[in-house]
Chain A
């Protein structure tokens, strides 16, 4: 008889009873998945990145399935921060779900404006600062590809929001020196890092002989990018072992989640897997617990970064 594994985890000063979270942009604002499992049964709902104003997003087609993955080009369609805070957050809190609000801006000032709106909202566990969405109008605006812009966004949010609410900076894998960008945002006040956002990709339709997506390029997600996520988490955890990482990228089984945790993730977001399987989060949570127990871990935290240990068994 094995002892149940303590699955709780922390990101900055926020505590979560389970390490399995939704991924921003893959659970809308939670209502859609609530039919399939109680939202309080997962670590947290990470809401779809919200901007200051309502936004239509990109034209269709917005999606292309690829081998073991998919490309999307949604372009941050959403209701805007005011409607989101008035309608979606109270509903999630009523469900006793823990909530991580993800924000996205087109300018450094927009992130600070969003942070100011969040400061007065009680009950949310953390803020994810999405500086790496690949579907903004101008690819040049991907802050997370520019170390200086990344730092300035996080610095602005930290100064606006004060010291209490944990800041999770969401980074892009499409950079040359990810640990350097990670170090920059941590120095600017990020408490944790979300790794990885989608990988920029393209599909060409061989009938029209043009890019298939309305937005031409899109973000690749799903099992196809899992090795990229494991690598990114491993690299950043090696460089910054004290900084908690919310890992994500192609996780669809408990084994996948365990890989990310061994690489250094303290929590794991499940995104695209929910598209194919609305109960994926619950299955992954249960499989992960069994796998940890079978490997003799009494707590989840003992497994975090375990792949980095010194030579030996």
Chain B
């Protein structure tokens, strides 16, 4: 019996559509029953480059959202930034192309059992999984506010349909080309206080996750963040995507962000030790 990766399956799936949205590609996959076990926060690992590829490792992407419709069956949406050779290959795949995927992988955002005030914070394409999460939180009676930030306006991902589940959406860009000039963290404490925020859900660059953790450390707010560390396998066997995390007993361990994450309690991550090694055991 598997105890790790226990919902994951490897499957060949088809691309239903691939649209350019600002600096990103919105890719919709026909994945069938896989959607039944996908939760907001989970990720998918995709083979890239085809059979003769010199790229031997899968690429991991946050699952943006899933749906189960009568017309298409189970579909999975990804928001992909064509950064490197692997993601550029993926963004070049047209409707009808086949992809080898492993999903769902990793931990999911914790969903409260009672209605709470949630603040969702996304950096760049890190906003992708937050819209599916917003739908789920709203269906549980939560009030959902959202802050999105990026360096420039073209890197803000905020689809029209995604905004329905959000009570308010505030956008920040560093160059002021969209929304307010600045960063998502600049008025964070004020927003938390004014809106009685109970839980922050975040996804984006590690610097942003660290800054949020530091800001909320003096508050009662719970901070669940989806981390981003480079991975070779996505299934827990390569040990490359580790982060220093403090466990319940107070000791710090190098945990795998693929199976103990990507969603982690921000306050348990030793951000000061990322890229370093904790004191010897």
Is the CB–CB distance between A33 and B237 below 8 Å? Answer: yes
- Contact with B238, one of A58, A61, A72 (Cβ below 8 angstroms): A72
**Is A57 a contact partner of B281 (Cβ separation < 8 A)?**
no
Alpha-carbon separation in the docked complex, A273 to B47 (Å):
12
Decide if B242 touches A276 in the complex (CB within 8 Å). Answer: no
Asked if A26 and B242 sit within 8 Å, CB to CB, the answer is no
How many angstroms from the CA of A277 to the CA of B47 in the assembled complex? 8
**With a CB–CB cut-off of 8 A, which chain A residues contact B243?**
60
Check if A54 is an interface residue, CB within 8 A of chain B. yes
Nearest-neighbour CB distance to chain A for B116, whole angstroms, equals 33
Q: Are B56 and A57 in contact (CB under 8 A)?
A: no
B171 beta carbon closer than 8 Å to chain A: no
Q: Mark A87-104, 1 if CB is under 8 A from B, else 0.
A: 000000000000000000
| 20 contacts across the A-B interface (CB closer than 8 A) | A26-B237, A32-B5, A32-B237, A34-B1, A35-B2, A36-B5, A56-B254, A56-B278, A59-B275, A59-B277, A60-B230, A60-B243, A61-B240, A63-B238, A63-B241, A65-B56, A74-B239, A275-B232, A275-B238, A276-B56
Cβ B242 vs Cβ A60 within 8 A: yes
A56-B281, A57-B254, A58-B277 known; A276 and B58 CB under 8 Å? yes
**Docked pose: A34 CA to B278 CA in angstroms:** 30
Chain A residues with a Cβ under 8 A of chain B = 25-28, 31-36, 48, 53-63, 65, 67-70, 72, 74, 77, 80, 214, 222-223, 252, 272-279
Whether A214 lies near B239 (C-beta < 8 A) is no
Contact B102 A65 (CB under 8 A): no
Q: Does B113 contact A (CB under 8 A)?
A: no
One digit per residue, 1 when the CB lies within 8 angstroms of any chain A CB and 0 when it does not, for chain B 89-104 equals 0000000000010100
Contact B281 A54 (CB under 8 A): yes
CB–CB A31/B54 < 8 A = no
* B237 CB, min distance to chain A CBs, angstroms: 5
Docked Cα-Cα span, A226 to B233, in Å, equals 20
Say whether B242 contacts A77, CB under 8 Å. Answer: yes
Whether B232 pairs with A72 at a CB distance below 8 angstroms is yes
What distance in Å separates the Cβ of B259 from its nearest Cβ neighbour in chain A? 7
Kindly state the separation between the CA atoms of A276 and B10 in the bound complex, as whole angstroms: 11
For the complex, would chain B's binding face be called helix, strand, loop or mixed by DSSP majority? Answer: loop
Question: How long is the Cα–Cα vector from A69 to B54 in the complex, in angstroms?
Answer: 8
Interface residue tally on B, bucketed by range: 35 or more
Q: How far is the CB of A158 from chain B (nearest CB, A)?
A: 30
Give me the interface of B with A, judged by CB distance under 8 Å.
Answer: 1-6, 8, 10, 47, 54-58, 100, 102, 229-233, 235-243, 253-254, 259, 274-278, 280-281
**Neighbour of B237 across the interface among A27, A77, A223, CB < 8 A:** A27
A272 to chain B minimum Cβ distance, whole angstroms, is 7
A54 and B235 CA atoms in complex are apart in Å by 22
In the complex, besides A35-B6, A278-B8, 13 extra interface pairs with C-beta distance below 8 angstroms are: A32-B236, A32-B237, A34-B1, A35-B2, A36-B5, A55-B281, A56-B278, A57-B277, A58-B277, A60-B243, A63-B240, A65-B232, A275-B233
Shortest Cβ distance from A132 into chain B, in angstroms?
A: 18
Q: Which residues of chain A are near B2, meaning CB under 8 Å?
A: 31, 34-35
Q: How far is the CA of A60 from the CA of B277 in the complex (A)?
A: 8
Q: How far is the CA of A48 from the CA of B256 in the complex (A)?
A: 15
Contacts of A33 in B (CB 8 A): 235, 237
